[in-house]
Chain A
Amino acid sequence: MNLDTLTIAEARRALDAKEYSALDLTNAYLDAIAKKDPDIHAYLEVWADSARAEATAADAMIAAGKSQPLTGIPLAIKDNILIDGRIASSASKMLENYRASYDATVIKKLKAQGAVFLGRTNMDEFAMGSSTENSAFGPTKNPLDTSRVPGGSSGGSAAAVAAGLALAALGSDTGGSIRQPASHCGLTGLKPTYGAVSRFGLMPMGSSLDQIGPLTRTIDDARTLFEAIRGHDDNDSTSSPDDLYPVRPLRRIVGVPRAFVSSGVEPDVLALYDATLERLKAAGYELRDVEMHNLPFSLPVYYIVCPAEVSTNLARYDGVRYGLHVPAGTVNESYEKTRAAGFGPETRRRIILGTFVLSSGYADAYYRKARAVRDIIRADFETAFSQVDCIAMPTAPGPAFKIGEKTSDPLAMYAEDIFSVTANLAGVPAISIPSGTVVRDGKNLPVGFQLIAPHGGEDILFTIGSGVEKL
């Protein structure tokens, strides 16, 4: 088996054909992690013993003829998804020693299939960031060029898959945190429709934006992992009933928001985007310009709505029920000292920003205004989807950037999310697919092509995406 090219589909075939065992496969990944991860730092913790036990149990399932799509498949899990009894830290000092009290719903589903959990992956603290440099435990490096970031916030998950240290991984995407690292590491990354996958057991960041999704080598693998984790969950009131959205017939029309795409993207990335569109056209898709006047407001809206939700969601970390606790004379002093010691700079920045936009006197001008603009952005998508199957954009404005390049300028870092936040604001599904490479400092760096579909339109993304993948 070649871990640098192996897919879930091929591993499934080989496992069921008994060409190798799930234990062989898991051991191969554990060896690769031991050899390569010290240079990449994709993992915060590797669970070698339990992974081998899970692989052995998977082998018994396979031998009994009870193999399911993910039985014996070694996965990496982002550090903000709970696994009963395991540390889940969100790459924060606040939760450095926190052990989860229950399984996230996605984990429960993967356990039922007999998947193998290799370990938990590095991320930007509480999923805030676009480079994984905001981890309290040091940055992850891009396996394709270790002087560069893997993207973020699911950078550890992306780096693990790209370096052959996991067959696939789970990430979470609030404003691009699955798709942008997928783009920077040459992978496929899916942000499902808001409500398609249960958020129960995912540490909340922006509750109206967050979704768990897969990072994989192929679209086929992304579909397999998505099918395994999707579905309504009684424990998440924002998870959707399975038949909420109508199935739309495919018209083979791809929308192009030309004016928005042309602004703020690096020239060779734009050229790759155009080349991919041309290939779609050659494959029989009609390209249609779509007017989406409110898309340029997406990034400002996102950086009001997201910090607002962060400031309320992270109020739970107060050192009382779990996590870090710094003793002090009064309960208020203890809150303030615990939160000062537990949260990193970007987390504190967003809490302060969110507190401001929600504060009396400013909430109308910022938070409520942003919420209303979010509604008209969503309406722009609905109008566009009355004419086209999906909308194509770059995933990010450029390829992976250098470690340290943007850490001192929050607005430059936020600009990474310009194309990806749109789908989170509208709640629609989006996928990033590898579309070629651009050259920086003599190195070929991958660039993603993003497709965005209507609510419940993951199948549209897989179908048209497979077209892009095979072109």
Chain B
Amino acid sequence: MTDKVDIAALAKLARLEISPEEMSTLEKELPEILSFVDAVQKASAGTEHVVPSLRNVTRPDTDPIETGTFTEKVLAVAPARDGDRIAVKQVISRNKKS
């Protein structure tokens, strides 16, 4: 079922840059690991998952935290800040290429 694994495509999905050397290692290792875990196919279970004994775990939305209480603490560990915000590279580009 898994003789060929497209490591480059998976790396892109996982937002992970992978060197050519590691790529060839993973191309060898991943099929080995997958052929080991493939043993689950032999188990007498379908793919249906029954969630047993459900209970509500949502707590009442009381005592809201006042805005700003943790702002400095959270920003203190951010790589870059802009005022009271975490600074991020522009995500959506106006640059239309097509």
Contacts and interface: CB of A to CB of B under 8 A. Distances in A.
Interface string B30-50: 101110111111111111111
A325 B16 contact: no
A297 B10 contact: no
Given A334-B89, A335-B15, A320 B26 contact: no
B45 A372 contact: yes
Interface of A is mostly: helix
Contacts of B14: 311, 339, 351-352, 355
Contacts of B30: 349, 352-353, 356
B88 A410 contact: no
B18 A348 contact: yes
B45 A369 contact: yes
Interface residues of A, number: 59
Interface of B: 1-2, 5, 7, 10-11, 13-19, 22, 26, 29-30, 32-34, 36-50, 57-59, 70, 73-74, 76-80, 86, 88-91, 93
Interface string A47-84: 00000000000000000000000000000000000000
B40 A301 contact: yes
A460 B70 CA distance: 42
24 contacts: A101-B76, A101-B77, A294-B43, A296-B39, A297-B39, A300-B36, A300-B37, A334-B89, A339-B14, A340-B16, A340-B17, A343-B16, A349-B26, A353-B33, A356-B30, A364-B47, A368-B47, A369-B40, A369-B43, A370-B37, A371-B47, A372-B47, A376-B44, A410-B32
Interface of B is mostly: loop
A411 B15 contact: no
A101 B77 CA distance: 8
A337 B18 CA distance: 9
Nearest to A237: B57
Contacts of B90: 331
B62 to A, nearest CB: 10
A319 interface: yes
Interface in A296-345: 296-297, 300-301, 303-304, 311, 315, 318-323, 325, 328, 330-332, 334-337, 339-340, 343, 345
Given A349-B29, A366-B37, A376-B45, A321 B78 contact: yes
Interface in A402-457: 410-411, 414
Contact of B88 (A315, A331, A337, A366): A331
Nearest to A97: B77
Interface of A: 98-99, 101-102, 234, 237-238, 294, 296-297, 300-301, 303-304, 311, 315, 318-323, 325, 328, 330-332, 334-337, 339-340, 343, 345, 348-349, 351-353, 355-357, 359, 362, 364-366, 368-373, 375-376, 410-411, 414
B37 A303 contact: yes
A198 to B, nearest CB: 13
A101 B70 contact: yes
Given A322-B78, A351-B16, A355-B13, A300 B38 contact: yes
